[in-house]
Amino acid sequence: MAEIRITEVAKRFGSTTALHSIDLTIADREFLVLLGASGCGKTTLLRIVAGLETATTGEVHIGGKRVDTLAPKDRGIAMVFQNYAVFPHLTVFENIAFGLRMENMAQQEVDRRVNRTAELMHIEALVKRYSGQLSGGQRQRVAVARALAMEPAVILMDEPLSNLDALLRMEMRAELKSVLAESDTTTIYVTHDQVEAMSMADRIAIMQGGRIVQAASPVEVYRNPAAHFVGSFIGNPPMNFLTAKNAGQGRWTVGGTTIDGPDSQQAELQFAIRPEDLHLGDGGFKATVVVIEPLGPHTLVACKVDDQMFRVILESDTKVSPNDVIGIVPQPDRVRWFDPETELAVVGRQAA
Amino acid sequence: MNRIASTITRPERHGVVGGEQRLVRIAFTTTVIVLCLWVLVPIWLLIANTFSTPEEVNGFPKRFFPSFDTESVEFFLGFYGVGKALWNSIVVATLTMIMSIGIGAPAGYALSRFEFRGKSTFRILVLMTRAFPLPLLALPMAVLFLRVGLDDTVFALALVHTTLALPFAVLITFSLFSGVPIELEEAAWTLGCTRLKAFRKVILPLVLPGISASAIFAFVVSWNEVFAAAVLTIEHRTLPAFLLQSLDVAPLHLKFAGGAMLVVPALIFIFMVRKYLFAMWGIANR
């Protein structure tokens, strides 16, 4: 039972504010990913939960107990670091046993737990080795095993896979997800890799400039971004945005055509749509093809609409060439609208 | 643009540069040889003469390999007061070693791990203490020691030697602690360690070789120091001070034997810890 409750946590370094009043509750056994570009405050927030950094204001509760005044060792957490932090002077076995020894656990229990977690992470053959004799991926496994052996209520991970090569990262991603799903821990996982976030998380909290912009399930943040930033940050290629002019009565002029939109008095809104939610057809936007990238399963076409860059994912067998003028039709239920000033999503009447 | 320009001009200039490079290489090699001889010839003379008979010491030309006569060394070791001076030297050097690491290592740790106001100033001040000429320091201290009743004790001398060795101890340990990633410590904290316990279980085992090197360096600084030792002690002379006083009028072969007794342990120690001293110069340049 370890719900993490972060209330009004702020952090200032001198005159710069790293975190503006953060409120976030992570349910027991939830896998929450903190996602954002570097410098957005995600690692700082994690370190505040770990107790490696003190918040300027605000409170952190773990399992109903206030912990922000406690030392890291008294918070019931375990942490996995980006550079693994495997102790170089100890064997793999002693690394995994380190935290258990600090609790003066009986040797028999230490053996049992180390063997179990080593097996879980597939490093049982390496227990007698030292960190210097391990590869990066193996060190990462040791670091995770060391955290799991503690059987903590909360596991905190700070970009644990970012130092691994792409193939290994994909393998570890799936493995970590299944291992953590089987344990009873609540997890906070920091990453700047959106694929990692989408594939592992129960819920993603997207951070920008020391604020949480949106915290929702992966599909929700993908389909219904709460802000312009989320739409442009999540998804590769990112969401398309076009400026739409108010034509009155909830009609908006965009890309040489007029479509239904929110009933708003504003002169301009941002029209947004994912590249895969478009298809070729008449009566849509008039687009001039710029670059064609055949990717196999589909073809990515970069074109210009209203002189703004616009990407469309089309069938691989689509016959288009640069400078062609094509008509592209948005799938009405996938269209989203954003306020150009607040950059937040505008909820309104969707096109029928 | 620049890269293109340089690839074009390089072939034309090649001949000239080649000539210059050869000259530079010859100058470099010559300098290295001269510097090596500068250091090695006196050491060779010292050791060769120590293991020669008194007649050979005073004679000329020298033999390249000495006759391995131990008469001078034996006589020197049996000389009245040598044993006691040697013991004093060891005590003072050991005290210096303990005090400079005891004070220097915590300072080095603080410099590497904490951000505080005046940190860079503090680092420079640590080095500045070495800019003071020792006579300037030793005479007021002699007066001070007289007042507090510490005069002519090995402890007082160890205090002076500690002030000499301390800057090095601080800088070496600073570089040692900086070499240990902070994440190792943080990992230990999250795994149930207090700050002190994390230091003992994780940091200390990793820096111990370097700490020993830094301790040995402090030992050598004290071992070699002669001025303060000569000024501050009368009854409790260390070996260098004793030699300065006694061997002034001694025959040449005894001077050589005494010199070798002083130089050889220091040489061996410094050779043992050379790796860490290079690391220290690296950090001092940063």
pLDDT at B252: 79
Nearest-CB residue to B191 (from A52, A88, A98): A98
Measured between alpha carbons, how far is A245 from B150 in angstroms, rounded to an integer? 91
User: CB–CB of B190 and A87 under 8 A?
Assistant: no
Residues contacting A198, CB < 8 A, separation 6+: A204, A218, A222, A234
Judge if pTM exceeds 0.90: no
Q: Which of A116, A130, A51, A148 is nearest to A86 (CA)?
A: A130
pLDDT at B279: 59
Residue given tokens 């210009």 in the structure block: A304
User: CB–CB of B187 and A85 under 8 A?
Assistant: yes
CA dist list (Å): B249 to A104, B70, B129, B252, B254? 67, 21, 35, 9, 10
Tell me how many degrees the CA angle A255-A257-A259 measures, rounded to the nearest 5. 105
pLDDT at B255: 80
- Mean pLDDT within B38-63: 79
State the DSSP H helix or E strand holding residue A327, giving kind and residue range, or none if neither.
strand A325-330
What are the residue ranges spanned by the domains of chain A? 4-233, 240-338
Give A146→chain B minimum CA distance, Å.
Answer: 9
Measured N-to-C along each axis, helices B71-78 and B82-113 cross at an angle, to the nearest 10 degrees, of: 90
Q: Which of B254, B264, B268, B267 is nearest to B50 (CA)?
A: B254
Q: Is the pLDDT of residue B6 over 50?
A: no
A78-92 pLDDT, tens digit per residue, is 999 999 999 999 999
- Mean pLDDT within A144-168: 92
Range of lowest pLDDT (A108-122, B65-79, B111-125):
B65-79
pLDDT category at B17 given cuts 50, 70, 90 is low
pLDDT at B18: 67
For residue A140, the chain B residues in CB contact (below 8 A) are: none
CB A123 within 8 A of CB B216: no
CATH code assigned to A4-233: 3.40.50.300
| Torsion-angle region of A51 (φ positive above 0: left; ψ -120 to 50: alpha; else: beta) | left
Give B276→chain A minimum CA distance, Å.
Answer: 19
What is the interface size between A and B, counted as CB pairs within 8 Å? 60
Q: Return the structure tokens found at B242.
A: 């004793």
User: CB–CB of A79 and B192 under 8 A?
Assistant: no
How many Cα atoms occupy the beta-carbon half-sphere of B254 within 13 Å?
14
For residue B115, the chain A residues in CB contact (below 8 A) are: none
Measured between alpha carbons, how far is B103 from B124 in angstroms, rounded to an integer? 17
Measured between alpha carbons, how far is A162 from A192 in angstroms, rounded to an integer? 9
For residue B211, the chain A residues in CB contact (below 8 A) are: none
For residue B197, the chain A residues in CB contact (below 8 A) are: 102
CB atoms within 10 A of CB A337: 20
Complex confidence, ipTM: 0.86
pLDDT at A336: 93
Tell me how many degrees the CA angle A21-A27-A33 measures, rounded to the nearest 5. 65
What are the residue ranges spanned by the domains of chain B? 2-50, 72-285
- The nearest alpha carbon in chain B to A103 belongs to B192
- Mean pLDDT within A282-299: 90
Residue given tokens 């260390």 in the structure block: B238
- Mean pLDDT within B223-248: 83
pLDDT category at A350 given cuts 50, 70, 90 is very low
pLDDT at A352: 35
The yes-or-no answer to whether A4-233 and A240-338 have a common fold is no
Percent of chain A residues topping a pLDDT of 70: 98
B205 or B49: which carries more pLDDT confidence?
Answer: B205
Q: Is the pLDDT of residue A43 over 90?
A: yes
Q: Count of residues for chain A? A: 352
Give A51→chain B minimum CA distance, Å.
Answer: 8
Tell me how many degrees the CA angle B88-B93-B99 measures, rounded to the nearest 5. 125
B254 or B30: which carries more pLDDT confidence?
Answer: B30
pLDDT category at B62 given cuts 50, 70, 90 is low
Pairing of strands A4-13, A154-158: unpaired
Measured between alpha carbons, how far is A262 from B233 in angstroms, rounded to an integer? 94
Q: Return the structure tokens found at B38.
A: 């500068």
Measured between alpha carbons, how far is A320 from A84 in angstroms, rounded to an integer? 49
- The nearest alpha carbon in chain B to A74 belongs to B192
- The nearest alpha carbon in chain B to A72 belongs to B190
User: CB–CB of B193 and A102 under 8 A?
Assistant: yes
- Mean pLDDT within A198-203: 94
- The nearest alpha carbon in chain A to B194 belongs to A73
pLDDT at A79: 95
Whether chain B has a CB inside 8 Å of the CB on A89: the answer is: yes
CB A147 within 8 A of CB A172: no
Q: Is the pLDDT of residue B249 over 50?
A: yes
User: CB–CB of B191 and A51 under 8 A?
Assistant: no
CB atoms within 10 A of CB A330: 25
CB A164 within 8 A of CB A137: yes
**Which among B190, B199, B203 is the top mutation candidate for probing chain A, defined by the most A β-carbons within 10 Å of its own β-carbon?**
B190
Give B198→chain A minimum CA distance, Å.
Answer: 10
Whether chain B has a CB inside 8 Å of the CB on A98: the answer is: yes
- Looking at the domain covering A240-338, what would its CATH class be? mainly beta
How many Cα atoms occupy the beta-carbon half-sphere of B142 within 13 Å?
14
pLDDT category at A35 given cuts 50, 70, 90 is very high
Q: Is the pLDDT of residue B8 over 80?
A: no
Arithmetic mean of pLDDT over chain B: 82
Please name the amino acid found at residue B2. Answer: N
pLDDT category at A109 given cuts 50, 70, 90 is very high
Please name the amino acid found at residue A38. Answer: S
Percent of chain A residues topping a pLDDT of 90: 73
Whether chain B has a CB inside 8 Å of the CB on A51: the answer is: yes
Give B100→chain A minimum CA distance, Å.
Answer: 26
User: CB–CB of B191 and A146 under 8 A?
Assistant: yes
Please name the amino acid found at residue B143. Answer: V
User: CB–CB of A72 and B205 under 8 A?
Assistant: no
pLDDT category at B11 given cuts 50, 70, 90 is very low
Measured between alpha carbons, how far is B33 from B111 in angstroms, rounded to an integer? 39
Whether chain B has a CB inside 8 Å of the CB on A99: the answer is: yes
- The nearest alpha carbon in chain A to B185 belongs to A85
Specify burial of residue A52 (Cβ count, 10 A radius: 0-12, 13-18, 19+): buried
- Mean pLDDT within A129-149: 93
pLDDT at B278: 66
- Mean pLDDT within A24-49: 95
Q: Is the pLDDT of residue B15 over 70?
A: no
pLDDT category at A289 given cuts 50, 70, 90 is very high
For residue B113, the chain A residues in CB contact (below 8 A) are: none
Please name the amino acid found at residue B134. Answer: L
Measured between alpha carbons, how far is A78 from A146 in angstroms, rounded to an integer? 8
- Mean pLDDT within A275-284: 89
CB-based contacts of A120-123 (< 8 A; 24+ apart in sequence): A120/A145, A120/A148, A120/A179, A121/A145, A121/A148, A121/A179, A123/A92
Range of lowest pLDDT (A160-164, A192-196, B68-72):
B68-72
pLDDT at A214: 95
- The nearest alpha carbon in chain B to A104 belongs to B192
Range of lowest pLDDT (A62-71, A290-299, B237-246):
B237-246
Measured between alpha carbons, how far is A201 from A181 in angstroms, rounded to an integer? 11
Nearest-CB residue to A50 (from B190, B192, B197): B190
User: CB–CB of A73 and B189 under 8 A?
Assistant: yes
B137 or A199: which carries more pLDDT confidence?
Answer: A199
pLDDT category at A213 given cuts 50, 70, 90 is very high
Residues of B with CB under 8 A from a CB of A: 181, 183-184, 186-194, 197, 201-202, 205-206
CB B44 within 8 A of CB B64: no
For residue B206, the chain A residues in CB contact (below 8 A) are: 88-89
- Mean pLDDT within B163-167: 89
Range of lowest pLDDT (B9-18, B76-85, B162-171, B260-269):
B9-18
Query: By three-state DSSP, how is residue B271 classified?
Result: helix
CATH code assigned to B72-285: 1.10.3720.10
CB A48 within 8 A of CB A217: no
pLDDT at A57: 94
